[in-house]
Structure formats: structure tokens, C-alpha cells
């Protein structure tokens, strides 16, 4: 399970990083074309806002957590002795898993609705919104799997 989850996280992280590169390229191309040719990249804002930013914000969540690069508010010591420590360690993983599971379900419903209704954002081109929304439940669901995996298989101490 760890190997499959890690490969999935690495793949999604790579895709998220590609989206970051695409954002930088699009914004810089837009700036340069406006400056030198008085012609903007017509699709830059909509592509970045609808597709690239949500992907780069959510697809790397699980891998960043796995590598310890997340932000956390610590109000109790990381490891406490005894059964209390084990329970708290598990809760530190399972409570965020419940939150992100809720985000996954709600955003998944939203994406499914956009797909089934053929929702479109009208702009420089017509943008199908289902594909814009699907990255959020994808990234959050993998984070849920990582949190549950760590709570169960690493005794919440991972």
C-alpha cells in the first residue's frame, strides 16, 4: 500500500509542479507580449484561475505531508507517553482526514454536477468546468488516504 500511495503522490506532485511551471510561463508570456507587442495572451487569466492554480494547490498536498513539509499548529508535544500519546497521535491524523474527506466529498459532488450539467465558463474560449473542479477531490482524496495510512500503519506516530 505504501508503495502505491507514494507513487500516486509523486505523480500528482509532478503534475502539480508542471502546473506551476505553466503558470510562470503563461504569466511571463502575457507580460512580454503586452510589453513588446501590445497583445495579451487571451487565455492566460482564465486558464490560470480555473485549471492551473487549483491543480498546483491541491495535487501536491499528500506528498508534501508525507515529506513533513506541511504547516502545523502544535499545542501539545509531538509525542506523549502511553495510551494517551497514541490516541492523541492518531487523532492528529484522523481529524484532518475527516475534514479532508468532507472536502473531497463536497468538491467531488460539485465536480460531478459540473460534468453532468455541462457547466461552462464563458470567456476567451468556453472552459468546461468539470475538468477545472476535478483536481480538488483528487488531491484531497489522496491526502485522506495518506492520513489514514499513517494513522493505522504507523500507529499515528509517523
**DSSP characters over the chain:** -HHHHHHHHHHHHHHHHHHHHHHHHHHHHHHHHHHHHS---TTHHHHIIIIIHHHHHHTTHHHHHHTT-S-----S-S--SHHHHHHHHHHHHHHHHHHHHHHHHHHHHHHHHHHHHT-EEESSSEEEHHHHHTHHHHHHHHHHHHHHHHHHHTTT--
pLDDT tens readout for residues 76-108: 666 777 888 888 889 989 999 999 999 999 999
pLDDT tens readout for residues 9-63: 999 999 999 999 999 999 999 999 999 999 999 899 999 999 999 999 999 999 9
Amino acid at each position: 500500500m505504501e508503495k502505491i500511495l507514494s507513487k500516486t503522490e509523486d505523480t500528482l506532485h509532478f503534475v502539480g509542479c508542471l502546473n506551476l511551471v505553466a503558470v510562470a510561463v503563461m504569466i511571463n508570456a502575457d507580460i512580454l507580449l503586452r510589453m513588446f507587442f501590445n497583445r495579451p495572451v487571451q487565455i492566460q487569466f482564465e486558464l490560470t484561475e480555473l485549471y492551473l492554480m487549483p491543480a498546483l494547490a491541491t495535487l501536491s498536498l499528500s506528498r508534501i505531508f508525507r515529506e513533513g513539509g506541511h504547516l502545523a499548529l502544535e499545542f501539545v508535544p509531538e509525542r506523549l507517553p502511553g495510551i494517551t500519546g497514541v490516541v492523541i497521535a492518531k487523532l492528529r491524523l484522523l481529524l484532518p482526514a475527516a475534514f479532508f474527506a468532507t472536502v473531497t466529498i463536497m468538491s467531488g459532488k460539485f465536480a460531478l454536477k459540473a460534468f453532468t450539467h455541462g457547466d461552462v465558463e464563458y470567456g476567451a474560449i468556453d472552459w468546461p468546468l468539470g475538468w477545472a473542479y476535478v483536481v480538488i477531490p483528487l488531491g484531497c482524496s489522496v491526502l485522506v488516504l495518506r492520513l489514514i495510512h499513517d494513522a493505522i500503519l504507523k500507529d499515528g506516530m509517523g
